[in-house]
Amino acid sequence: MMTLRKYGLFLASLLLFLYISTANIYSNVDNSLYWKVEINQQKIIVSGTVADQAGQPIPGATIVEGGTTNGVVTDADGKFTISVQENGAKLEFSFLGYTPYEHTVIGPQRNLMITLTEEVSKLDELVVIGYGSMKKRDISGSIATISNESLENTPVKNVMSALQGRASGVQVVSNSGAPGDGISVTVRGQSTLNSGNEPLYVVDGVPVESNSLSQLNGYESHGLNPLADINPQDIESIEILKDGSSTAIYGSRGANGVVLITTKRGREGKPQINVNLYTGVSNITRKLSVLNATQWREIIIDTYKNLDAYNNTVNPSEPHWTAIDSLNPMNSGDVDWQDVMYRTAYQKQANISIIGGNQAARYSLSSSFLDQDGIILNSNYKRITSRLNTDFKITNKVNVGYSVSYMYGKNNRINAGGTGNNSLVQSILVRPPVYSLTYPDGSPIYYFNGKRNPVGLAIEATHLNTTNRIIGNQYVEWEILKDLRFKTNISLDFITMKEDEFYPTTVDYRAGWNSGAVRATHNLTWANENYLTYTKTFNKKHNFSLLGGFSQQEWKTETTGLNGQFFASDNIRTLNGAGTISGQNVNTTVEHSLMSVFGRVGYDYLGKYLVQATMRADGSSRFGKEKKWGSFPSASIAWRFSDETFFNSLNALEDGKLRFSVGQTGNESISNYVSQGEFSLNANYLDYSGAAPTAMPNYNLSWETTTQYNTGIDLSLFNGRIYLTADAYQKNTTDLLFNVPIPETTGFSSISQNIGEIQNKGLEFALTTHNLIGNFKWITNFNIGMNRNKIVSLPENILTNGYLQNGTYHILKVGESIGTFYGWKFLGVYSRDEDNINQVKYGSANGKVFRGGDPIWDDLNGDHIIDDQDKQIIGNAQPKFTGGLNNDFSYKNFSLNIFLQFSYGNDIYSNLNMMRNWVFAYNNVSTDALNRWRKQGDVTDFPRPIRNDPLRNEYLRVSDRWIEDGSYMRLKNVSLAYDLPRRLANRIFLEGLQLYVTGENLITWTHYTAYDPEVSSYSGLQIGVDDGSYPQSRTFIFGLNIKF
């Protein structure tokens, strides 16, 4: 790092010197070098007019002297005058919508006439679709495109974070702030109950594995994500297919949307080398308020008083809680464990890429290295990636290409989330402040009185994940006839993941107890796709396209794992050192296959009337023998009304198009053998091992089917300065895959069935405006998506009182959405005993009567008993709308990007806040407890704390006391960059040099009171619950981008 800093300072000083100096280097006859300073050099005047191909002047065109900041703008008549330093200077002429032009100055020039030609419209840019590409103007479906410029302007570790807020209707949520952790993506709402809601990911035409392979409890959230394995600078574009007509070509895997990722490929020309280096620092975005040692002692005393024990005095067996005891390390501290555990974390990344080629061969080679520390002690993520893309022209009709990528990741993880004893975030917040870090002799205090030392839990315990991944792909493309092409593609995706976990005796409350676990997972996926494409234009009016093909794909996953306890020593952490091997031992192999045929036909007349239809049939091994195959059709039409003669008078309208589509897609994301029934080989009877059925078969189990209607409009105004797209959609998913409870007399608790229906409908809006052009440019991108989710139907036989309890916090109810919170309504705290006029009781008619200081619950049915009959809907985790606002500013060599991301209208159930306000045992709690009830007549909303909480559920009760508004707006990214003038860069033998600084997660505006409002519970149904995930961080990055 010191070498890099010294080099950076030297380089900056050198560039500054060259920039302000007017000296040039010349060689004399004997090749010695000397400085010649130019004094009072005569400037050269160049003037003229800039016009279009029709001869019309172009006002506002920009003229810049190449390699300098010297520039002017044409006036209302297209005229300009500029002074340059010397003959041979390059004048660069540019204007939005026209191809830039370069002119070499040869002496003074007047009345120079420059003609700019219209560039290929943005509407003629190619957009990647399933099994091909189309011009943007010809798209009749709903597709969001994210260009490589958006990704390169945001130096992120995971491309998924760069997608947040950049595409309407696409919700991207970080599972946590841990380095290398997964990210959840939802396109147009949740469409399923029991299977995956993630979209299908396709990288360079190859569907890739995106499911979590983690097998250890607590780490399922550390899922694989294809984008996490890709260096963001390798990506050319990302297309998100959203409507039925776009996704139907992927059939049974398209119901949740499709993300198409295209990586950069080689191009003709001399090799271009790009090196990007950056380093950064991260800190926690906010800390939560907790009691100090004095405040904590006071509340502990109150817990005993409120128990009416020991005659309102402290427990005589525990007198040390009442005052500081400097000789007792358990009672002499005043520690804020957040200050101890959260640190300033450092990160660094290096990327290098080489792109080049000729007519016969093109190549793109890149590598990257990332080393990222987490803001919690001892958490770290290291990743190495490499990618090689090649394309060869074998003959005039045959092209061959190869791609291979490799990723190595090493993640020293932290079991941060949840409410269990191993949850580090919970341990940080509830560990009493009076506990010291060490004993008087300096040795660490790991565990006392049921409270783990979070420092020991982070440093002493092992949670290591090591991943290797190789993805290979080869294609052959053959031009059979002029308009007929055949392409075959075969790919391989191989992943190995090894997980090691160890808890030494120092962090376990059970004397002499240590434990460890290991899991090894191997996943192999291969795919082969073959298809023909035919395109033909008749009479320059009728454009036809046909596509037909078939594909097959197979997955195989092998998992081996063991658990051990009572290791001979904490220094022996391999399982052969365990005294006992028991529990959760795993050795499984699962397989899955998919076969498909697909086709697409398209027609347009003069580019004005467009029609497209697709069909795909999939056969999956996951479904019942009677339901192996499913068919998924779609159709779309579009009308380019701007080409009609009656719109010719609207000069502002460059392009206008109406779209309509309908399509069906499926979802097959369920367990591999659920339709066939499952057996366990761990069954024992009379000391003999055997097999016992664990899942009932359902041979009629079939696909979930999503039918989606979409209508939209695309507008391009004022020569492309304003581009607007809007969509309205409705999608209904039927035959939902769900584990239905059945009578246990059958020997089973549930069976997988196709039941019920879910509806998602919404509006999407995206706007791009070129607000200012010229030397100072300002471009704005705004998008917003509104989705309404509703359960349309559920079978009556699985409902109780009209709903189905879904875990601890949610219910499924017809007319409500997925993510509906269900519990008790908190009305405050009884100020006095006599305020409980109706003598409302806890739990039953024989239960305790609520007193002054106890919570007031809404007695929904009026029976004066607080029980399950009083539960009601208390919130909803679905946001009303999400979106983003991006502004790009540039002035000569400076550029500034400001990006805001927002979510509005969603509720959060803050399990974390509940745990840090539960005055149980010796937990520390939040400063909210300073406003607690203390005596008869107190008016407050914080109940009286009671030692060990005899009512218990009054604090743990699922209620709206822990429901908070999860709306937020986040200043997600601010980047400032400076590009060294090309002339100066060339002097140091570079094609370009950029310096940049970036801030991430700088400010979050929210009413949410815990760490961060961006919460995910890693499950499609258990959304919006904050279990105390690894907190998000604020990051500052300083980087250097060098082009050779």
Report the pLDDT averaged over residues 110-129: 76
SS3 assignment, position 638: strand
CATH architecture under which domain 126-269+345-798 falls: Beta Barrel (2.40)
Tokens found for residue 1024: 């919006």
User: Between residues 618 and 312, which one has the greater pLDDT?
Assistant: 618
Question: For residues 365 and 357, what is the distance between their CA atoms, to the nearest angstrom?
Answer: 11
| Percent of the chain topping pLDDT 70 | 87
pLDDT at 592 over 70: yes
pLDDT tens per residue across span 257-273: 999 988 899 988 889 99
Mean pLDDT of all residues in the chain? 84
Residue of 932, 951, 1042 lying closest to 989 (CA atoms)? 1042
Residues 6+ apart with CB under 8 A from 54: none
In DSSP terms, 998 is beta-bridged to 975, 1037
Amino acid at 332: S
SS3 assignment, position 491: strand
Q: Is the Cβ–Cβ distance between 650 and 670 less than 8 Å?
A: no
Question: For residues 284 and 974, what is the distance between their CA atoms, to the nearest angstrom?
Answer: 18
CA torsion angle 224 226 227 230 (round to 10): 110
- What band does 456 get if pLDDT is binned at 50, 70 and 90? confident
Mean pLDDT lowest for which of 390-399, 587-596, 874-883, 962-971?
587-596
CATH architecture under which domain 42-119 falls: Sandwich (2.60)
pLDDT at 895 over 70: yes
Residues 6+ apart with CB under 8 A from 975: 153, 154, 155, 895, 896, 897, 996, 997, 998, 999
Give pTM, 2 decimals.
0.85
| DSSP label of 607 | T
What's the gap between Cα 689 and its chain centre? 45
User: Between residues 124 and 1040, which one has the greater pLDDT?
Assistant: 1040
Burial of 1038 (0-12, 13-18, 19+ CB in 10 A): middle
pLDDT at 729 over 70: yes
pLDDT at 214 over 70: no
pLDDT tens per residue across span 330-367: 667 788 899 999 999 999 999 999 999 998 999 999 99
Report the pLDDT averaged over residues 916-935: 88
- What band does 30 get if pLDDT is binned at 50, 70 and 90? very low
pLDDT at 219 over 80: no
C-alpha separations of 967 from 761, 915, 1024 in Å:
21, 22, 12
Only one residue has tokens 């002054």, namely 852
* DSSP string computed for 676-742: T-EEEEEEEETTEEEEEEEE---TT---EEEEEEEEEEEEEETTTTEEEEEEEEEEEEEEEEEEEE-
Question: For residues 916 and 928, what is the distance between their CA atoms, to the nearest angstrom?
Answer: 10
Burial of 482 (0-12, 13-18, 19+ CB in 10 A): exposed
pLDDT at 888 over 80: yes
Q: Is the Cβ–Cβ distance between 673 and 755 less than 8 Å?
A: no
Confidence at residue 803, expressed as pLDDT on a 0 to 100 scale: 75
Burial 257-289 (b: 16+ CB within 10 A, else e): bbbbbbbbbbeeeeebbbebbbbbebbbbbebe
User: Between residues 950 and 762, which one has the greater pLDDT?
Assistant: 762
Confidence at residue 951, expressed as pLDDT on a 0 to 100 scale: 59
Sign of the C-alpha dihedral computed for residues 958, 959, 960 and 962 taken in this order: negative
Straight-line distance from the first to the last Cα atom of the chain, in angstroms, rounded to the nearest whole number: 23
- What band does 32 get if pLDDT is binned at 50, 70 and 90? very low
Residues in the chain: 1044
Confidence at residue 14, expressed as pLDDT on a 0 to 100 scale: 41
- What band does 610 get if pLDDT is binned at 50, 70 and 90? very high
* DSSP string computed for 433-484: TT--SB-TTS-B--EETTEE-HHHHHHTSEEEEEEEEEEEEEEEEEEEETTE
pLDDT at 279 over 90: yes
Mean pLDDT lowest for which of 667-676, 806-815, 874-883?
667-676
Q: Is the Cβ–Cβ distance between 1029 and 177 less than 8 Å?
A: yes
Tokens found for residue 1040: 């250097």
pLDDT tens per residue across span 813-871: 999 999 999 999 999 999 999 999 999 998 888 888 998 999 999 999 999 999 999 99
Confidence at residue 494, expressed as pLDDT on a 0 to 100 scale: 93
Q: Is the Cβ–Cβ distance between 378 and 458 less than 8 Å?
A: yes
Question: For residues 807 and 786, what is the distance between their CA atoms, to the nearest angstrom?
Answer: 27
pLDDT tens per residue across span 148-186: 777 776 767 777 777 788 899 898 888 788 888 778 888
pLDDT at 13 over 60: no
Confidence at residue 3, expressed as pLDDT on a 0 to 100 scale: 47
Question: For residues 854 and 949, what is the distance between their CA atoms, to the nearest angstrom?
Answer: 11
Residues 6+ apart with CB under 8 A from 836: 830, 849, 850, 851, 854
Residues 6+ apart with CB under 8 A from 378: 412, 414, 458, 459
Indicate left, alpha or beta for 948 from its phi (over 0: left) and psi (-120 to 50: alpha): left
The domain spans of the chain are: 42-119, 126-269+345-798
